[in-house]
Amino acid sequence: AQSVTQLDSQVPVFEEAPVELRCNYSSSVSVYLFWYVQYPNQGLQLLLKYLSGSTLVKGINGFEAEFNKSQTSFHLRKPSVHISDTAEYFCAVTVTGSARQLTFGSGTQLTVLP
Amino acid sequence: DAGVIQSPRHEVTEMGQEVTLRCKPISGHNSLFWYRQTMMRGLELLIYFNNNVPIDDSGMPEDRFSAKMPNASFSTLKIQPSEPRDSAVYFCASSLPRTGGETQYFGPGTRLLVL
């Protein structure tokens, strides 16, 4: 079975500063990796995903993530955050092949301060 | 595209009552997922359907929970009888599997409070 660890439950950062949200996964087989964002009182929205190919993945709203197989990580980054980026961010994994279930991390609350 | 539709958006009920949550997936999607989100346990997959057939219900907490998908455009999650510990946000998501790694599209959720 696979698992996801998000090391930081809360990340406060000032507006226009860079941010990195950390995600590590555990799996004995190949995986696909995802980052979702959840704004208050809303459902989850896909930010980006890694399926194969280039390890640097660009997503919506200026976010990007880098897949590092040796370190089993998929950290999310943004060079300059805005107040509107305040939300909860979830890393998720699914095994390649026929399985479709997503296993989510516990989430990281990003709070952008003025 | 209307996205995944869930109803009701909020539900307050008393312990012991039956609760039915509803979901309409995106048209053309043939996989549907029910998740529960709580502060203590985070996001948990309860059950998922492929082509209206339940594939994995190992996440359903107990017999009080049941889910159905009578057709490609409608699914229900029922809790009978409800208990205060069932209070959570319940999300429905749908996807169109092709080769793997398909995006799941989430509905806005149903916020359930059991008193």
pLDDT band at B103 (very low <50, low <70, confident <90, very high): confident
pLDDT digits (tens, 9 = 90+) for A11-45: 999 999 999 999 999 988 888 999 999 998 889 99
Residue A97 has pLDDT above 70, yes or no: no
Residue A100 has pLDDT above 90, yes or no: no
pLDDT of residue A98: 52
Find, in chain B, the residue whose alpha carbon is nearest to that of A96: B100
Flag whether residue B18 sits within 8 Å of chain A, measured between CB atoms: no
Q: What is the mean pLDDT of chain B?
A: 92
How many Cα atoms are found within 13 Å in the side-chain-facing hemisphere of B106? 24
Contacts of A105 in chain B (CB under 8 A): 42
A57-71 burial code (b ≥16 CB/10 A, e <16):
bebeeebbbbbeeee
| CB-nearest partner of B103 from A42, A49, A104 | A49
Find, in chain B, the residue whose alpha carbon is nearest to that of A39: B108
d(CA A102, CA A74): 15
Nearest Cα residue to B87 out of B113, B59, B61? B113
